[in-house]
């Protein structure tokens, strides 16, 4: 059994306390990095209105209108559906109900409300941050393993939808990659992230196909659809959960396990059994026992803790060799 290379007991899967702490710190640092542009915008806003003596004068400063709308609580998504009259009303409400009552401190009040709105925008981005960081780490780890093995690879640029020749020393690949291609001893292998699988009618985190990257030249086209609709083309499917908070670990596993069960049932109806695997950053004891039990029962082919390097690279070596 392939998982025996790096797992000997359920306890091996449990996330060490040191890794949980490191994960929280990593997320905190990323949050601060993402917040920097908003802080800079707030400083620019304050500088732009410092010479304003009364809140009413803000009506006439066209340059700060977008910032006033943000301070009024209107996100970019809402603004797409707003008329000029509604925008003017929102700014008027901001000035009359909040800036005027603040008296001489109206500039600070404006900046605080601007940051409050931007903080909500940032919060939305942060909800997806852990998953994005996990994807980046997984992709970079595959590239590292391929480099050690001396294997060439290509990567699918999520922006241009083009397959680029890979370089292991390129530090930006994992930030832009939607897929990877390599050749194993068994043939062409293409891994696509976050792909809709018609057989399951759901998006799956990781899908490994028995085909060349040419079949996924873009995210549309008959050739790609033929691959996605052909069950035997799927070699392996996996769920990747990057959340680091132990308090949410069981819920993440519940979601992943439901997805894996759905995959298992859908492919069984097609008389196909691709290998299923799970990788998670926050794994608690009860969850570890369930995962380990599925490994021994054959319901899962492999699993690893994302924060434990030996496990992660053992699973990746297994994936590359499939």
Q: pLDDT of 60-80, one tens digit each?
A: 888 888 888 888 887 766 666
Q: Is 312 helix (H, G, I), strand (E, B) or coil?
A: helix
pLDDT at 220: 62
Q: Are 285 and 247 in contact (CB under 8 A)?
A: no
Which segments in the chain show pLDDT lower than 50? none
Backbone angles phi, psi at 57, to 5 degrees: -65, -15
Residue 113 per-residue DSSP state: H
Distances (CA, A) of 21 to 134, 204, 230, 281, 309: 16, 28, 43, 12, 16
* Beta strand 234-241 pairing with 154-157: unpaired
Domains, the chain, in order of start with CATH, read: 2-29+128-321 (3.40.91.10), 51-126 (1.10.238.90)
pTM: 0.82
Residue 207 and residue 205: Cα distance in Å, rounded? 7
Angle among Cα 87, 91, 92 to the nearest 5 degrees reads 115
pLDDT of residue 118: 85
Distance CA 256, CA 278 (A): 8
| Residue 234: per-residue pLDDT | 96
Q: Where are the alpha helices (DSSP H) in the chain?
A: 17-49, 65-71, 76-79, 84-94, 106-126, 129-148, 173-176, 222-228, 249-268, 285-297, 309-321
The DSSP secondary structure of 158-207, one letter per residue, reads: TTT--EEE--TT-TTHHHHEEEEEEEETTEEEEEEEEEEETTTTEEEEEE
Measured CA distances, 187 to 12, 90, 207, 309, 319 (Å): 32, 60, 16, 27, 13
């Amino acid at each position: 059994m392939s998982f025996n290379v790096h797992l000997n007991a359920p306890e091996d899967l449990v996330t060490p306390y040191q890794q949980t702490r490191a994960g929280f710190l990593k997320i905190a640092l990323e949050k601060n990095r993402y917040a920097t542009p908003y802080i800079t915008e707030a400083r620019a806003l304050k500088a732009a209105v410092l010479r304003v003596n009364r809140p009413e004068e803000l009506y006439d400063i066209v340059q700060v209108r977008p910032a006033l709308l943000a301070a009024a609580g209107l996100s970019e998504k809402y603004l797409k559906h707003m008329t000029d009259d509604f925008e003017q009303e929102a700014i008027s409400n901001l000035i009359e109900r909040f800036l005027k009552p603040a008296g001489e401190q109206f500039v600070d009040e404006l900046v605080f409300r601007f940051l409050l709105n931007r903080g909500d925008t940032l919060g939305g981005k942060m909800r997806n941050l852990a998953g994005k960081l996990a994807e980046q780490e997984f992709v970079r780890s595959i590239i590292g393993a391929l480099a050690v093995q001396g294997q060439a690879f290509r990567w699918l640029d999520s922006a241009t939808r083009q397959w680029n020749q890979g370089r292991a020393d390129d530090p930006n690949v994992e930030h832009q990659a939607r897929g990877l291609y390599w050749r194993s001893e068994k043939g062409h292998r293409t891994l696509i992230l976050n792909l809709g699988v018609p057989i399951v009618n759901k998006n799956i985190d990781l899908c490994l196909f028995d085909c060349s990257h040419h079949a996924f030249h873009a995210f549309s086209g008959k050739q790609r659809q033929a691959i996605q609709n052909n069950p035997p083309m799927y070699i392996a499917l996996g769920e990747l959960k990057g959340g680091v908070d132990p308090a949410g670990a069981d819920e993440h596993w519940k979601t992943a396990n439901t997805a894996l069960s759905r995959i298992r049932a859908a492919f069984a109806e097609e008389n196909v059994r691709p290998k299923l695997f799970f990788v998670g950053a926050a794994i608690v004891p009860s969850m570890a026992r369930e995962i380990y039990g599925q490994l021994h029962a054959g319901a899962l082919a492999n699993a690893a803790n994302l924060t434990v390097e030996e496990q992660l690279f053992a699973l990746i070596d297994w994936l590359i060799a499939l």
